[in-house]
């Protein structure tokens, strides 16, 4: 497999209202690791929770929201859900055209494009903890406390990722699947009803379902967290972190990172800021930020060559809430930073 060594990719969302414009930017600035774009400004159903909610049990569209309800629901709904999971009916869990214009447009673009520059294809799915935390039951209790619903999230979201893998498999490129878990940026606080073993076990279960497809599995968390929950989860290949905002926190986990890289892990440095982007950042500044992190980790005993060879870069987070001009500037800066990094 080709080494990463500074390749660049995106997180998921872009601010466009149509897929073609978003794909134009993706293939212009990130031609080696392109991804399908989520377009939340096109339709609220492309939000990170709504987009993956179809055919998950007890979820109902209600205006611009998706709500959880067991009222007036057939007793067989959960049974029907698991019947489709057990037989591996990936098409049942597909993301419909109404909920994602980007993924089908991405496939169509790949069918017409010269793929000689493409090294990897990236897709994504909302993580089960972020997904479950978005819902409450009729008593107002987070569904993170509901083991039946949380288990359904693990299986249903895995099926949606497998459907994406099936779509992209025909292009003959290594596939990267990102699990987006921004909620785990709250992990460890008094407001997060999760413990470390349960998070590792849950992510490990999801990883096991996907790794059978010979993909690279990444996890994206744009806040600060206990990064050892990702380094210690079997099956996670890539950890994507906000290197611009939280580098000083991530390097505290040098011992965990050392073991992760030795097992073949890859760090994806979210080095281009999103919320804090103001146009003053330069490729030289961002490469210096990465080198700062590498130097700290190397002094803490992490293998320098492994850090350099297993290095991917991205924006700190998705770009869906920004304006078009800022989003393009961020992708341009990301591309220029990747080019400079690889020269060095």
The pLDDT of residue 280: 96
In a domain, 271, yes or no: yes
- Is the pLDDT assigned to residue 3 strictly greater than 80? no
Predicted model pTM: 0.95
- For residue range 63-110, what is the model confidence (pLDDT) as tens digits? 888 988 877 667 788 999 999 999 999 999 999 999 999 999 999 999
Q: Which of 7-16, 74-83, 159-168, 254-263 has the lowest mean pLDDT?
A: 74-83
DSSP per-residue codes, 258-309: HHHHHTT-EEEEEEE-STT--S---HHHHHHHHHHHHHHHHHTT--HHHHHH
- For residue range 194-217, what is the model confidence (pLDDT) as tens digits? 889 999 999 999 999 998 889 999
Q: For residue 142, what pLDDT band results from cuts at 50, 70 and 90?
A: confident
The pLDDT of residue 212: 85
Q: Which residue has the higher pLDDT, 268 or 67?
A: 268
**CA dihedral defined by 273, 182, 97, 321, rounded to 10 degrees?**
-40
Report how far residue 100's alpha carbon sits from residue 198's, in angstroms, rounded to the nearest whole number.
Answer: 31
What are the helix and strand counts (H, E) for the chain? 12, 9
- For residue range 228-243, what is the model confidence (pLDDT) as tens digits? 999 999 999 999 999 9
- Kindly report the number of other CB atoms within 10 A of residue 118's CB atom: 19
In a domain, 215, yes or no: yes
In a domain, 113, yes or no: yes
Q: First vs last Cα of the chain: how many Å apart?
A: 21
Select from 109, 92, 96 the least CA-distant residue to 43: 96
Residue 338's CATH number:
3.20.20.210
- For residue range 285-299, what is the model confidence (pLDDT) as tens digits? 999 999 999 999 999
- For residue range 300-329, what is the model confidence (pLDDT) as tens digits? 999 999 999 999 999 999 999 999 999 999
In a domain, 122, yes or no: yes
Q: Total structural domains in the chain?
A: 1
In a domain, 331, yes or no: yes
In a domain, 294, yes or no: yes
**What is the extent of the structural domain holding 112?**
7-44+98-146+161-343
In a domain, 34, yes or no: yes
In a domain, 84, yes or no: no
Mean pLDDT of the chain: 94
């Amino acid at each position: 497999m080709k080494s990463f060594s500074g390749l660049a990719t995106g997180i998921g969302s872009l601010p466009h209202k149509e897929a073609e414009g978003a794909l134009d930017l993706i293939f212009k600035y990130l031609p080696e690791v392109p991804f399908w774009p989520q377009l939340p400004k096109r339709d609220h159903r492309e939000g990170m929770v709504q987009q993956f909610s179809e055919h998950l049990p007890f979820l109902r569209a209600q205006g611009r929201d998706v709500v959880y309800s067991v009222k007036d629901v057939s007793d067989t709904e959960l049974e029907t859900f698991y019947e489709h999971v057990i037989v591996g009916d990936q098409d049942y869990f597909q993301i419909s055209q109404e909920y994602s214009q980007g993924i089908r447009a991405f496939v169509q673009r790949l069918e017409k494009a010269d793929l000689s520059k493409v090294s990897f294809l990236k897709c994504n799915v909302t993580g089960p903890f972020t997904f479950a935390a978005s819902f409450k039951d009729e008593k107002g209790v987070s569904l993170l406390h509901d083991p039946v619903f949380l288990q359904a999230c693990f299986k249903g979201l895995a099926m949606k990722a497998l459907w994406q893998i099936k779509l992209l498999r025909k292009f003959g490129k290594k596939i990267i699947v990102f699990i987006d878990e921004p909620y785990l940026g709250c992990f460890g606080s008094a407001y997060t009803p999760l413990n470390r073993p349960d998070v590792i076990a849950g992510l490990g279960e999801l990883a096991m379902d996907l790794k059978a497809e010979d993909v690279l599995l990444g996890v994206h968390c744009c806040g600060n967290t206990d990064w050892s929950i990702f380094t210690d989860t079997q099956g996670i290949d890539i950890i994507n972190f906000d290197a611009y905002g939280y580098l000083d926190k991530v390097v505290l986990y040098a011992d965990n990172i050392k073991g992760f890289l030795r097992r073949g892990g890859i760090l994806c440095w979210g080095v281009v800021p999103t919320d804090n982007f103001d146009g003053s950042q330069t490729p030289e500044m961002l490469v210096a930020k990465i080198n700062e992190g590498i130097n700290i980790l190397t002094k803490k005993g992490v293998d320098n060559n492994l850090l350099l060879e297993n290095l991917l870069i991205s924006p700190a987070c998705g770009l869906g809430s920004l304006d078009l001009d800022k989003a393009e500037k961020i992708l341009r800066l990301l591309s220029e930073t990747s080019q400079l990094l690889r020269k060095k």
